[in-house]
Amino acid sequence: MSALEKGRETMGKVIITAALTGNIHVPSMSPYLPVTPGQLIDEAVRCGEAGAAVVHVHARSPEDGRPTTDLEIYREILSGIKARTNVVISPTTGGTATMTPEQRIAVVRELKPEMATFNAGSFNFALYPVLNKVKEFKHDWEKSFLESTEGFIFANTFTSLKVFCKTMNEVETKPELEVYDVGQLTNLSQIIQEGFLKKPIYLQFVLGILGGIPASIDNLLFLTNTARRVLGDFELSVCAAGRFQFPMGVVNMLQGGHMRVGLEDNLYLNKGQLAKSSAEQVEKAIRIARELGLDIATPDEARKILGLKGPDKVNF
Ligand code: KMH
Ligand code: ZN
């Protein structure tokens, strides 16, 4: 029975996830956005030391910070993190507009991580409005990358959802189910009924993405109650964009869930103050959790809560 069913007074510990770099922000938007494998490994270690139980990783080309699915770069990052900290490592299968489902899931098939993201449906995933926030582009790919999202549909069809499920089941990678809007909950119940997605499940509501459900407390509660009706029991994390990151995460912690922070979703620590590291956001989330009387899960406690296979069963 998950925390959400038991209620906070009797439930377990809060899993803090740090999303280190993502592919939403481009390097020109913050000098603190980690790009190279070395920077990502150092960031993961700092976040682990700060109390994060999980780090979520996107690979970027070391030369110019462009998102990549290059498996050797992923191998360098993931093995470098594993060598220095016990955090759970959860790479993305989100990829970018130009990547096929096969390219996106390759990191799971080859590196067999304990967990990876699993995007639960198709929707417009628009980043182009941030163009006016960038004063000067350091790299020639950044502007066209952001502009291209005006015509981008983040495709996660039932066909690709089932391919991703099969691959994750084969290598015992736990899918972190990214839900951007309410209809995606029925996508998940359908692939559970068809036997592709295995229970117990780990949901992450992603709030405030342009093309997905707006970030608000009533939408968080709406998604939670609908998920209870449609999916039954689950563990739940929340990730929200920009200024909604902390308010949404804190509400979810209070209702028995977990919280994601990190520069992938929000470049700021406070209003007008760039975060120098995702670890600063981890520390802030843990300060708030502790003030609310909540306990923080260690990486091994997170493994137990989520039923992960353990770091000795990965291929990196
Ligand atoms: N990019 C975030 C909005 C993924 O990487 O597959 C959600 C996410 C999904 O992190
Ligand atoms: Zn991501």
Q: Which domains, and CATH codes, for the chain?
A: 3-313 (3.20.20.70)
Task: Give the distance (Å) from ligand 2 centre to CA of residue 153.
Answer: 16
Atom of ligand 1 nearest to the CA of 116: 6
**Ligand 1 site, residue 94, Cβ cutoff 6 A:** yes
The order of strands in the sheet holding 258-261 is 88-91, 54-57, 16-19, 258-261, 235-240, 202-207, 174-179, 115-119
Tokens of residue 9, six digits: 């007074």
Tokens of residue 167, six digits: 């691959």
DSSP secondary structure code for residue 3 in this structure: H
**Ligand 1 site, residue 92, Cβ cutoff 6 A:** yes
DSSP secondary structure code for residue 182 in this structure: T
How far apart CA 62 and CA 35 sit, in angstroms, is 6
**Ligand 1 site, residue 224, Cβ cutoff 6 A:** no
pLDDT at 250: 97
Atom of ligand 1 nearest to the CA of 241: 3
Atom of ligand 1 nearest to the CA of 117: 6
Question: What do you get for the CA distance between the two ends of the chain, in Å?
Answer: 32
Pocket test for ligand 1, best of 178, 213, 267 (most atoms within 8 A of CB): 178
Return the ∠ at Cα 118 (arms to 112 and 119), rounded to 5°.
155
Atom of ligand 1 nearest to the CA of 119: 6
How far apart CA 45 and CA 37 sit, in angstroms, is 12
DSSP secondary structure code for residue 58 in this structure: -
What residues have their beta carbon closer than 5 A to ion ligand 2?
22, 92
CB 128 within 8 A of CB 149: yes
Please state the length of the chain. 316
Q: What are phi and psi of 96, to 5 degrees?
A: -135, 180
Say if strands 258-261 and 16-19 run parallel, antiparallel, or are unpaired. Answer: parallel
Nearest ligand for residue 205 CA: 1
| pLDDT tens-digit profile, the chain (316 residues) | 555 555 555 567 999 999 999 998 999 999 999 999 999 999 999 999 999 999 999 999 999 999 999 999 999 999 999 999 999 999 999 987 778 899 999 999 999 999 999 999 999 999 999 999 899 999 999 999 999 999 999 999 999 999 999 999 999 999 999 999 999 999 999 999 999 999 999 999 999 999 999 999 999 999 999 999 999 999 999 999 999 999 999 999 999 999 999 999 999 999 999 999 999 999 999 999 999 999 999 999 999 999 999 999 999 9
Task: Give the distance (Å) from ligand 2 centre to CA of residue 26.
Answer: 13
Closest Cα to atom 5, ligand 1: which residue? 92
pLDDT at 8: 52
Say if strands 258-261 and 235-240 run parallel, antiparallel, or are unpaired. Answer: parallel
